[in-house]
Amino acid sequence: MDKTLRHTFLAKGSATLDKLKDLCNEGKEHPSTLLQLYTQAVLDITYFEENQLVDEDFPEESSLQKVKELICILSEPEALVRECNINEEPINIHGAELLECLYWRKGALLYMYCHTAKERSEWLQENIATFKKCLNDGVHYLMKMLSFRCPLQLNEDVLLQDKDTARLLSEGIFSDTHLLAMMYSGEMCYWGLQHCGEGKQESLETIDPVSNSDLSCRSQSVSLDFRETGKNMLTKYVAVCEGPLKGQGWNTTTAKQMLCYFVKSHN
């Protein structure tokens, strides 16, 4: 990303934090407004940091720790809601779109990190468990991102003249980002199967915000079935791209190749 544009996000985030500080000092705003501002600042400032990592091609010695730190920061808004014991549901405080954005950014960051890490064969051999954890977490975040808004239930009360739009909404696809999340999830499952094998349903230590005092933000989750999850995500992706989005520039070649791999490697 262009350096000037990167610094624009940093400046925007800093300005939001200044505004947040002023509002906190006044003590008049509802906590939900303050949390929304804080979330927006977090999104802007971490975007600046993420793009620095991408531009530097995720330095092998330091990038994993930086990725963990960024994921912890992106998880703070939700953690704050829980800590403050705010009675409203987080979805009402942040709005579905803000929550989606937080989870998308965590998942996409791990996707980009793994995309680079898988090409470092020596590192991969020595750190295969870490690689698997990153893939597992990344797919979990993207699947969570896809779950915040319920798919539109099409019935007699819902009248949409555009059948393609209706199909997309009924599949829970509300933007290009939802479609990308499916493709990224499928691709990460493909890397998992390629490099980590079938694996067992073991417990994995994951990068997740449980305790603010623990910088690594680790918790436990069960490892994904890379084959089944990837197959489901990519099948849906292909169906949508070749259905309601046909002719809109979405390529399914790579997705189909990965689907073939899921089937062949199983046989």
Q: How many domains does the chain have?
A: 1
Residue 227 belongs to some domain of the structure: yes
Residues for the chain: how many in total? 267
Distance of CA 179 to CAs 4, 38, 75, 240, Å? 29, 27, 23, 9
pTM assigned to the model:
0.82
Distance between CA 172 and CA 151 in Å, rounded? 4
Distance of CA 183 to CAs 2, 84, 206, Å? 26, 36, 22
Residue 61 belongs to some domain of the structure: no
Residue 159 belongs to some domain of the structure: yes
Residue 84 belongs to some domain of the structure: no
Tell me the one-letter amino acid at 256.
K
Residue range(s) defining the domain that contains residue 136: 99-266
Residue 105 belongs to some domain of the structure: yes
Question: What are the pLDDT tens digits along the chain (267 aa)?
Answer: 556 655 675 676 667 766 767 767 777 766 777 788 888 888 988 998 999 999 999 999 999 999 999 999 999 888 877 777 655 554 444 567 888 899 999 999 999 999 999 999 999 999 999 999 999 999 999 999 988 876 666 665 555 556 766 677 667 677 899 999 999 999 999 999 999 987 555 556 655 543 333 334 555 566 889 999 999 999 999 999 998 888 888 999 999 999 999 988 776
Residue 204 belongs to some domain of the structure: yes
Of 103, 90, 92, 7, the C-alpha closest to 51 is 7
Distance of CA 203 to CAs 75, 187, 257, Å? 21, 22, 30
Distance between CA 127 and CA 125 in Å, rounded? 6
The distance in angstroms from the start CA to the end CA of the chain is: 43
Residue 162 belongs to some domain of the structure: yes
Residue 80 belongs to some domain of the structure: no
Instruction: Give CA angle at 166 (164, 169), nearest 5°.
Output: 110
